Amino acid sequence: MNKLQEKRPSSAFTTVDFDRMGKQVGHIMFPHSPHDDAWGVTRVPVAVIANGTGPTVIMEGGNHGDEYEGPIVIGEITRELDPAEVQGRLILMPSNNIHAAMASQRTSPVDGLNYNRTFPGNPYGTITEQISAYITDHIFPLGHAFLDLHSGGSSLDIMPSAVIEPTADEGLAKRNSAAARAFNAPNTVVIGNLGDPRTATATACRAGLTTVGTELGGGGRVSIEALAICRRGVRNLLAHLGVIDRKHQTVGNADGPTFELKGTAAYVFAPCDGIFEPFHALGTRVSAGQPAGRIHVVWDPARPAEKVHYACDGIVYGCRQPGRVRPGNCCSVVAAPL
């Protein structure tokens, strides 16, 4: 049952009927009037595959436009899955941050916003805020579960993992954990985004949806390993939720360790401009106080490199991909055993 506020008015309209059986592919249309298009629309792609009775699972890709594994897999599911294989309904959204996806950027080139920091959105705000408002008000109320497929994007390389969205609701926390385990990624990590409530997964939890995220590689490329994990994991989760036959499910990662990002201590931030040299590969066990790397100010050869240090024990979960850093950039991320 949806726990969010009552639906707000929206000027958006759709070319699909969410209640119709079978397979449909179309768009959610947002009136958009920039300089070169007086009465145009922004088209966010959406597919609906529905058959019989069962839960509704919402799958989102392209939350950030430089994260590619999720959109690829959602497109494959859209084309390949026969409605006869489904018990319930899939709402498939491969590129919600559509302008960013087409530009291969994290943020929208139209309004400069990070879609995943705009929830619950504004139906009459900028185009990014309108999209997140429509997801909040009109898509989440249809669902029982939400899968948000992320990668590290162009700025981070991250160990492939299923992500548990934390919640104070004990029953939902158990469902989230079980669903993340069923995805069967090599790693399972609790990520609270420093308590930021403006993300898609935090909003889905407030709506009462069983919620799973992912982090699947990154570095601005398509990872062969991460894409295989994503393809397998999506079907694992759909089987776990009862939407497709359990013959598609591989054995879950039920006994593997769970990690968490322990607030601000998990992150190593750049204190100055320069070029970041990491000292450790992903998966390396590290300790609080240990040097994580150093920043070279290559345009000032007389200036010594400045070391940066880990603030907690754990494993190196993510590492900055571009060498160039500015003050405040995330250089490294440590995941600690839960």
pLDDT at residue 247 in the model: 81
Residue 264 phi, psi dihedral angles, 5° rounding: -65, -25
Question: Cα(143)–Cα(38) distance, rounded to whole angstroms?
Answer: 34
DSSP 117: G
Contacts of 179 (CB under 8 A, 6+ apart): 145, 210, 211, 212, 237, 240, 241
Question: Cα(119)–Cα(198) distance, rounded to whole angstroms?
Answer: 5
pLDDT at residue 252 in the model: 60
pLDDT at residue 178 in the model: 96
pLDDT at residue 256 in the model: 74
Per the listing, tokens 């504004």 go with 122
- Give the pair of three-digit tokens for residue 333: 């991320």
pLDDT at residue 117 in the model: 98
Q: Which is nearest to 125 in space by CA: 42, 190, 248?
A: 42
Q: Which is nearest to 46 in space by CA: 20, 16, 4?
A: 16
How far is Cα of residue 267 from the mean position of the Cα atoms in its chain?
19
Partner residues linked to 258 by β-bridges? 188
Residue ranges, the chain, pLDDT below 70:
1-5, 251-255
Complete DSSP assignment for 277-291: EE-S-TT-EE-TTSE
Q: Are 209 and 54 in contact (CB under 8 A)?
A: no
- Give the pair of three-digit tokens for residue 135: 């997801």
Question: Cα(151)–Cα(328) distance, rounded to whole angstroms?
Answer: 21
* 143 to 35, 60, 98, 139, 320: CA distances (angstroms): 36, 12, 21, 7, 35
pTM metric for this prediction:
0.94
Amino acid at 15: T
- What confidence tens digit (pLDDT) does each residue in 29-71 have? 999 998 899 999 999 999 999 999 999 999 999 999 999 999 9
pLDDT at residue 1 in the model: 44
The helix (run of H) or strand (run of E) holding residue 58 is strand 56-60
Amino acid at 30: F
Partner residues linked to 25 by β-bridges? 47
Domains of the chain (ranges, CATH numbers): 13-260 (3.40.630.10), 266-337 (2.40.50.100)
Question: Cα(210)–Cα(91) distance, rounded to whole angstroms?
Answer: 15
